[in-house]
Amino acid sequence: MVNMELLKKVVEAPGVSGYEFLGIRDVVIEALKDYVDEVYVDKLGNVVAHKKGNGPKVMIAAHMDKIGVMVNHIDKEGYLHLVPIGGVDPRTLVAQKVRFFTEKGERYGVVGHIPPHIQKPEDRKKAADWDTIVVDVGADGKEEAEEMGFRVGTVGEFAPAFVQLNENRIASPYLDDRICLYTLIEAARRIESHEADIYFVGSVQEEVGLRGARVASYAIEPEIGIAMDVTFAKQVADKGKIVPKLGGGPVMDVGPNINPKVRAFADEVAEKYGIELQVEASPRPTGTDANIMQINREGVATAVLSVPIRYMHSQVETADLRDVEKTIEFARHFLEELRPMDLTP
């Protein structure tokens, strides 16, 4: 059963790329510390939770960081001008709230929108970009904005907006990748007997170049590396290009970024426990932490386990709680069943 209180806490905790220490790191440590043998934070900020075993060494990672924004200019009227941290589409910021982390604590701002009554016809056809996005923090000038704690370099993120749409569906900013991070935490907490030597990693800076997973996988030196990250679910106007669907269960990729022996083992586990896996074709690197884990040192046997979501990198990312629960159970059984195997493709 999905723990909604913990899920919401994980989703809403602060932590844009490079600033995971603002909140999410402590949430992950607190959630895992009583269920593993040791927890530590490395020099880049990854949380590593080790559940000791005598079997194959496996690293299973979900990234803690969020996409976000950084202040790069405060104009004389007190408006903030922004640059993106990670893949933020500026169109998703229009008429939205932004949560900032200033020297004087959390502050909120709003991205204004010119009322349609006074827009020129040609302006209505233009999409917002970083040159037109400005944030109103309620200040009457630059000096007041600075007195409120804003500086060049202040970071921000989409304001919390977690909602439950019905019994099974939720929508919120930052289900990428906090919903998989929650899934990883719950799998770690539910594991009973296991042979594998398991390293659960809350990785940092995935959204700006898979940086945390590079450092963690080098230090851990796993035989098997599993990236837990969201993937696209069928949605309006996807033109049939997206195959996974909400409510269809966990998703696992096939392709060159995926070790075929690990993938075949995953199918065996899924069949044994009656969990249907959705399949996603990935003919190139997956864009997840598995990319960098695969080419660590002499090579790592990698796979990707995903929860499907709609409307990725927006304030209304949408997921199905049944997929979350099934993914937790699959990850748990996969790790419990893992034994030494020949990983050569």
DSSP string, 218-278: HHH--SEEEEE--EE---TT-TT-----TTS--EEEESTTS-HHHHHHHHHHHHHTT-PPE
Q: Are 310 and 317 in contact (CB under 8 A)?
A: yes
Residue 46 lies in a domain: yes
284 and 310 co-located in one domain: yes
Q: Is residue 195 annotated as part of the catalytic site, yes or no?
A: no
Position 148, amino acid: M
92 in the same domain as 50 = no
Would you say the pTM of this structure is higher than 0.85?
A: yes
247 and 133 together in one domain = no
Q: Any idea which residue has 């090579």 for tokens? A: 299
Q: Please indicate, yes or no, whether residues 190 and 314 belong to a single structural domain of this protein.
A: yes
Q: Which residues pair with 88 in a beta bridge?
A: none
> How far is CA 144 from each of CA 3, 79, 97, 133, 139, rounded to the nearest angstrom?
42, 10, 20, 20, 6
Residues 48 and 90 occupy one common structural domain: no
* Same domain membership, residue 101 and residue 46: no
Residue 165 falls inside a structural domain: no
Claim to verify: residue 115 and residue 142 sit in the same structural domain:
yes
The total number of structural domains that make up the chain: 2
Same domain, 79 and 8: no
Place of tokens 């079997």: 55
pLDDT attached to residue 209: 97
Q: Would you state the pLDDT for residue 35?
A: 98
**Among 97, 125, 158, which residue terminates a domain?**
158
Helix 175-190 and helix 24-32: axis angle, to 10°? Answer: 20
214 and 127 in a common domain: no
Q: Do residues 112 and 252 both lie within one domain? A: no
pLDDT score, position 149: 98
Domain boundary among 129, 158, 187: 158
End-to-end CA distance of the chain: 36
Q: Block means of pLDDT (10 residues each) for the chain, length 345 residues? A: 97 98 98 98 98 98 98 98 98 96 97 82 82 96 98 98 98 98 98 97 98 98 98 90 95 98 98 98 96 97 98 98 98 98 96
Which of 98, 128, 158 delimits the end of a domain? 158
Selecting among 206, 223, 317, 329, the annotated active-site residue is 206
DSSP H or E run through 8: helix 4-12
What pLDDT does residue 259 have?
Answer: 98
pLDDT at position 114 is 79
Give the pLDDT score at 116. Answer: 77
Domain assignment of residue 178, given as a range: 4-66+174-337
CATH of the domain at 90: 2.40.30.40
